Structure 1
Amino acid sequence: MIASPPQHPRPARADRPEGSAAARNAAGAGRARRALAGAALVLLVAASAGCASQRSDRSGLFEPYRTDLPQGNYVTREMLDQVKPGMNRSQVRAALGSPLLDNMFREDRWDYVFRYLHASGRSEQRRVTVRFRDDRVDAIEADELPQREDPTDPALPGTRAPRR
């Protein structure tokens, strides 16, 4: 069995006799350093707690600014009603604009997709599909669309919807 060395009190340094002002200052500096390290640890734990959130879609007090993000073609029912079977591609393009998806493998189909991502994270998507046969409109498929450019429609480009 290996015996541990005897524990002796630390001898006073010759340049700092025990009880002197220099020894008291050195001991006080050690306590101050430990107190500072403890305060830094408490501050670090408190700052880390700020990263926690009760809601999964929010990060807490300090979160980045998020803006509403419209993407694609904003198509209304009024615009779509202008497109009739038998119209050619240039007439459809004049009524609805250029399609968002023009598939080179399926040239008989144009897709107008509109996606609106709200700052809250909620999103809406609307789709209009125009099918062609012999370069003429053959069929039209569409999701529910607004009747016309409704100024209260939050998806209308340039409209600022009230935050909820």
Structure 2
Amino acid sequence: MNNTALFLRLRKGLFISALALTALTGCQSGKWGFPYIAPVQQGNWITEENVALLQKGMTPDQVRYALGSPTLTDIFRPDRWDYPYYYQPGYGEPVSRNFSVWFVNGVLDRWEGDQQPNFQPYEQKAAARTVESTASTAEAAASQVETAPLE
């Protein structure tokens, strides 16, 4: 085999490799591309139902049963428990919520924090579809009211 034929085969192989690499790097944009961005969830998922269980005078064990173990307990303030939550989806806006409870003399005194969802994490897509369908139903009802003939 002469040098010209070897050079042409090598050139053809390099061209095909460069073409494949270009195709793969062109797929980086959008939801289907590379690299895969894993969703990151940190903290405690608390719902409105969990918060509704809280009552003044509860013991720490009762609060732990209602809300779960706290993510943060401060060694300088052991009477305060914090329940932060952070979710960074692979694509989209991050979600961040905070919730804190305070104990006085070993019993629950008060609690405060962000508005908590009324669904579990595995129900997020169903809850989003419900919100979208409710919004579209409301828009449809509003357009019917606007187009209704006056008598």
* TM-score > 0.5, shorter chain as reference: yes
TM-score (norm 2): 0.65
Q: How does 1:140-155 map to 2 (within 5 A)?
A: 140-146=111-117, 148=118, 150=119
RMSD over equivalenced CA pairs, Å = 3.1
Aligned-pair identity in percent equals 31
Instruction: State the SS of the aligned residue for 1:158.
Output: helix
Whether 2:86 is the aligned partner of 1:112: answer no
Q: Distance in 2 between matches of 1:106 and 1:160?
A: 34
Instruction: State the SS of the aligned residue for 1:141.
Output: strand
Report the Cα offset of residue 31 of structure 1: 1.5
**Contact 1:70 1:157 (C-alpha < 8 Å) held by counterparts:** no
**Contact 2:28 2:35 (C-alpha < 8 Å) held by counterparts:** no
Hey, what does 2:50 align to over in structure 1?
A: 79
Once the two structures are superposed, residues 48-74 of structure 1 have per-residue CA deviations (whole angstroms, 9 ceiling, x without a partner) of 32224563x7683x554x665543322
**Contact 1:71 1:116 (C-alpha < 8 Å) held by counterparts:** yes
**Contact 1:130 1:137 (C-alpha < 8 Å) held by counterparts:** yes
Report the Cα offset of residue 106 of structure 1: 2.4
Hey, what does 2:15 align to over in structure 1?
A: 42
Q: Which has the larger radius of gyration?
A: 1
Which residue of 124, 137, 140 maps to 2:95?
Answer: 124
Unmatched tracts of structure 2, length 5 or more: 129-151
Hey, what does 2:25 align to over in structure 1?
A: 51
Aligned pairs, number = 127
- 30-39 vs 135-144, which moves further: 135-144
Hey, what does 1:157 align to over in structure 2?
A: 121
Hey, what does 2:132 align to over in structure 1?
A: none
**Contact 1:102 1:109 (C-alpha < 8 Å) held by counterparts:** yes
Instruction: State the SS of the aligned residue for 2:58.
Output: coil
Report the Cα offset of residue 75 of structure 1: 0.9
Report the Cα offset of residue 42 of structure 1: 1.4
